[in-house]
């Protein structure tokens, strides 16, 4: 249901009234100019650019009030998947006195003429103003397009194109937008690829500079200290600061105090959960600062990787017999904890539940990589796939790395687990000793499988430096058959079990289309692996072990 025209006009007038109030010198800043950055596209008429995204930033300083529009990119940006379009990044500067009329025209006349020429917009409407803090424990998405929002935060006005009809090609194929964003990033730090919902919009940023604030942790108790100072042109006025801590969905502490000078103590009765804070005027209610969630560290884990002159060496042979010698630096790992760690007063039970819920939420956002999706050089694609697996192993192997693949062979282990840098990492490999899907690996009887694998390891001529690895097979009546292929990283003190589905066997990665994907229920998959592993303890199940 569309709002009535009179409602739209009332909202527009209220929007402009609030903008005029904030632009009053000393309200939230002392602005003397605006800097405009337009990302524009040309599709059917090279003289009529289409608005991809425009940001207007109010500023202060001894700069020229007016700078003529100019393209930051020397030649038009072209995309391989959108050949009928060309793009550019335009920047210019105008006196602050021109701002209100220019933004009023966005919704009243559906036009933006900051550069002196019409920029093609959709049918624009104004959003309610918002306050955007700097990044805290979590990144604030809008900070990907705002300019230097590092300090007290910014009031943001935005005019949106709800239909975005002109920009439909970017929604039909999101890779076009990411390509454009990457190309634009060479000229301006605007990550529009991460904010597709802002395409076609015009955004105004009013960073608060009338004052600056910083929160620090007091040395005693659970208090904070607010340190703040006023702009040299500002007249200090009465302010309030509000602070709260949130934990597990509830407010564990809350306080509102008057700002008393350069330093204001903020007492809090609890240390549970992260902080949020706001600074505002009690007379008029103007928000001058707000934070995202933040906290201070009571303890800091330090991971030390001792580099030594020890190197694991081994030889890989391709299907044609050509040899490549590899050297992997072996690292000795130590973990230290500096400071006093937080202790859950509920005996650790609440902390364990919250951690499990957090990991579950992360796993719901499935991360995956596709290989051999299009016609490409399969040799390069295979190397890319193996490189990604090796990178995962070295990122997450602090508690070990386990491969579960019915077609796993010694050659596959040399291609993957042998590249683990961590000394004495718990490396495991489990196979069914089956014939490869390509039908080329085993022409020997099943009983000769172990001898063949051991010969491959021996021919690798490795010194086995820092290696702790066990390779078992499903054989005979013990255990059940399996089909799926997984790369498993057992749980550590700092994270839950992580499991990637390989999508194909190691011997086939990169050779045909498959997906490497982080999966849910990693602990359940690890438990299933261990259940089978612990049944395969007879001598005939052991393929190879070192040391």
CATH of the domain at 385: 3.30.870.10
Mean pLDDT to the nearest integer, 281-292? 89
Indicate whether 200 and 278 sit together in one domain.
no
Provide DSSP, 152-187.
Answer: S-EEEEEEE-SS-GGGHHHHH-HHHHHHHHHHHTTT
Nearest to 290 by CA among 300, 276, 309: 276
Cβ-based neighbours of 432, under 8 Å, separated by 6 or more:
406, 407, 473, 474, 481, 482
544 to 208, 413, 433, 445, 485: CA distances (angstroms): 65, 11, 13, 18, 20
pLDDT over 70 at 220, yes or no: no
Mean pLDDT to the nearest integer, 288-313? 70
- Which tens digits make up the pLDDT trace of 430-471? 998 875 544 444 445 555 889 999 999 999 999 999 999 999
Confidence grade of residue 361 (pLDDT, cut at 50, 70, 90): very low
- Which tens digits make up the pLDDT trace of 119-174? 999 999 999 999 999 988 888 989 999 999 988 999 999 999 999 999 999 888 77
Between 23-37, 164-178, 198-212, 315-329, the lowest mean confidence (pLDDT) is in 315-329
Structural domain count of the chain: 3
Indicate whether 370 and 457 sit together in one domain.
yes
Confidence grade of residue 360 (pLDDT, cut at 50, 70, 90): very low
| Residues 471/449, Cβ–Cβ less than 8 Å | no
For 481, the domain range is 302-546
Candidate ranges 296-305, 324-333, 391-400; pick with highest mean pLDDT? 391-400
**Residue where a domain terminates, one of 173, 207, 241:** 207
Q: Provide the pLDDT for residue 346.
A: 62
Cβ-based neighbours of 196, under 8 Å, separated by 6 or more:
170, 171, 174, 177
295 domain-assigned: no
Whether omega before 369 lies within 30 degrees of 0, making that bond cis, reads no
**Beta partners for residue 310, in sequence order:** none
Q: Give the Cβ contact number of residue 192 at 10 Å.
A: 23
91 domain-assigned: yes
Q: Provide the pLDDT for residue 256.
A: 93
Cβ-based neighbours of 507, under 8 Å, separated by 6 or more:
407, 409, 411, 412, 436, 438, 441
> Average per-residue pLDDT in the chain?
84
Cβ-based neighbours of 208, under 8 Å, separated by 6 or more:
28, 29, 151, 152, 153, 154, 155, 288, 289
Mean pLDDT to the nearest integer, 384-390? 90
297 domain-assigned: no
Mean pLDDT to the nearest integer, 21-37? 95
Helix axes 99-108, 5-23, angle to 10 degrees: 170
CATH label of the domain that carries residue 277: 2.60.40
For the chain, how far is it from start to end, CA to CA, in angstroms?
Answer: 71
Indicate whether 257 and 198 sit together in one domain.
no
Nearest to 77 by CA among 192, 198, 172, 202: 192
Between 15-29, 33-47, 74-88, 308-322, the lowest mean confidence (pLDDT) is in 308-322
Q: Provide the pLDDT for residue 1.
A: 47
Nearest to 344 by CA among 336, 333, 352, 332: 352
- Which tens digits make up the pLDDT trace of 159-171? 999 999 999 998 8
Mean pLDDT to the nearest integer, 205-218? 91
Mean pLDDT to the nearest integer, 175-196? 88
| Residues 206/31, Cβ–Cβ less than 8 Å | yes
pLDDT over 80 at 358, yes or no: no
Q: Give the Cβ contact number of residue 502 at 10 Å.
A: 21
Share of the chain above pLDDT 70, in %: 83
296 domain-assigned: no
5 to 9, 103, 202: CA distances (angstroms): 6, 19, 21
Element (H, E) at 526: helix 522-533
**Residue where a domain terminates, one of 207, 237, 258:** 207
Q: What SS3 class is residue 50?
A: strand
Here the tokens at position 186 are 């060479």
> Cα(145)–Cα(39) distance, rounded to whole angstroms?
12
This prediction's pTM: 0.62
**Beta partners for residue 303, in sequence order:** 335
| Residues 225/178, Cβ–Cβ less than 8 Å | no
> Cα(156)–Cα(183) distance, rounded to whole angstroms?
26
> Cα(28)–Cα(59) distance, rounded to whole angstroms?
12
Confidence grade of residue 92 (pLDDT, cut at 50, 70, 90): very high
Q: Provide the pLDDT for residue 453.
A: 94
**Residue where a domain terminates, one of 174, 207, 240:** 207
Nearest to 64 by CA among 101, 42, 91: 91
Mean pLDDT to the nearest integer, 309-322? 77
Candidate ranges 269-283, 331-345, 357-371; pick with highest mean pLDDT? 269-283
pLDDT over 90 at 7, yes or no: no
pLDDT over 80 at 293, yes or no: yes
Cβ-based neighbours of 103, under 8 Å, separated by 6 or more:
16, 19, 56, 157, 159, 202, 204
Indicate whether 53 and 76 sit together in one domain.
yes
Element (H, E) at 543: strand 542-546
377 domain-assigned: yes
Mean pLDDT to the nearest integer, 347-365? 51
Indicate whether 367 and 265 sit together in one domain.
no
Between 119-128, 234-243, 453-462, 515-524, the lowest mean confidence (pLDDT) is in 515-524
Indicate whether 425 and 449 sit together in one domain.
yes
Dihedral sign from CA coordinates of 476, 481, 483, 488: negative
CA angle 486, 489, 493 (to 5 degrees): 155
Indicate whether 228 and 328 sit together in one domain.
no
Indicate whether 182 and 215 sit together in one domain.
no
Indicate whether 46 and 169 sit together in one domain.
yes
pLDDT over 50 at 364, yes or no: no
Indicate whether 312 and 446 sit together in one domain.
yes
Indicate whether 228 and 188 sit together in one domain.
no
453 domain-assigned: yes
Q: Give the Cβ contact number of residue 26 at 10 Å.
A: 13
> Cα(112)–Cα(201) distance, rounded to whole angstroms?
11
pLDDT over 60 at 118, yes or no: yes
Indicate whether 320 and 189 sit together in one domain.
no
Q: Provide the pLDDT for residue 443.
A: 46
476 vs 256, higher pLDDT:
256
């Amino acid at each position: 249901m569309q709002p009535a025209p009179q409602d739209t006009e009332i909202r527009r007038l209220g929007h402009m009234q609030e903008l005029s109030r904030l632009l009053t010198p000393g309200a939230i800043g002392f602005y003397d100019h605006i800097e405009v950055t337009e990302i524009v596209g040309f599709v059917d008429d090279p003289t009529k650019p289409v608005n991809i995204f425009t940001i207007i930033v109010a500023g202060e300083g001894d700069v020229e009030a007016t700078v003529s529009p100019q393209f930051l990119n020397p030649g038009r940006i072209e995309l391989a998947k959108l050949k009928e379009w060309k793009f550019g990044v335009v920047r210019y500067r105008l006196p602050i006195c021109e701002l209100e009329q220019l933004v009023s025209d966005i919704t009243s006349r559906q036009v933006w003429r900051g550069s002196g020429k019409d920029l093609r917009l959709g049918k624009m409407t104004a959003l309610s103003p918002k306050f955007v803090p700097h990044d805290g424990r979590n990144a604030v998405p809008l900070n990907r397009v705002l300019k230097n929002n590092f300090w007290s935060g910014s009031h943001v006005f935005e005019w949106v194109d709800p239909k975005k009809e002109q920009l439909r090609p970017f929604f039909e194929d999101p890779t076009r937008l990411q390509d454009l964003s990457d190309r634009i990033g060479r000229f301006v730090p605007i990550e529009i690829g991460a904010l597709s919902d802002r395409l076609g919009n015009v955004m105004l940023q009013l960073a608060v500079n009338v004052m600056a604030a910083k929160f620090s942790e007091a040395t005693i108790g659970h208090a904070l200290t607010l340190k703040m100072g006023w702009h040299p042109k500002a007249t200090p006025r009465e302010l309030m600061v509000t602070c709260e801590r949130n934990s597990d969905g509830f407010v564990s502490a809350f306080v509102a105090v008057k700002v008393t000078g350069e330093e204001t103590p903020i007492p809090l009765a609890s240390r549970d959960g992260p902080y949020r804070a706001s600074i505002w005027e009690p007379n008029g209610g103007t928000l001058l600062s707000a934070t995202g969630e933040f906290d201070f560290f009571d303890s800091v884990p330090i991971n030390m990787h001792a580099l030594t002159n020890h190197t694991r060496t081994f030889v890989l042979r391709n299907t044609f017999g050509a040899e490549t010698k590899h050297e992997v630096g072996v690292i000795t790992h130590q973990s230290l904890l500096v400071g006093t760690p937080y202790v859950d007063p509920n005996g650790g039970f609440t902390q364990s539940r919250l951690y499990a819920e957090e990991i579950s939420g992360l796993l719901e956002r499935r991360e995956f990589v596709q290989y051999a999706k299009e016609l490409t050089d399969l040799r390069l694609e295979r190397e890319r796939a193996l490189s990604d697996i090796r990178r995962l192993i070295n990122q997450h192997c602090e508690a070990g790395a386990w491969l579960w693949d019915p077609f796993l062979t010694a050659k596959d282990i040399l291609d993957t687990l042998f590249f683990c840098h961590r000394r004495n990492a718990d490396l495991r490999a489990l196979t069914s000793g089956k014939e490869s899907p390509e039908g080329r690996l085993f022409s020997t009887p099943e009983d000769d499988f172990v001898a063949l694998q051991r010969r491959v390891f021996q021919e690798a001529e490795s010194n086995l430096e820092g290696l702790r690895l066990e390779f078992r097979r499903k054989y005979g009546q013990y255990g059940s058959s399996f089909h799926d292929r997984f790369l498993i990283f057992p749980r550590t003190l700092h994270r839950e079990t992580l499991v990637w589905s390989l999508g194909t066997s190691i011997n086939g990665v990169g050779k045909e289309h498959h997906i490497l994907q982080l999966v849910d229920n990693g602990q359940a998959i690890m438990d299933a692996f261990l259940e089978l592993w612990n049944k395969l303890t007879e001598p005939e199940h052991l393929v190879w072990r070192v040391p």
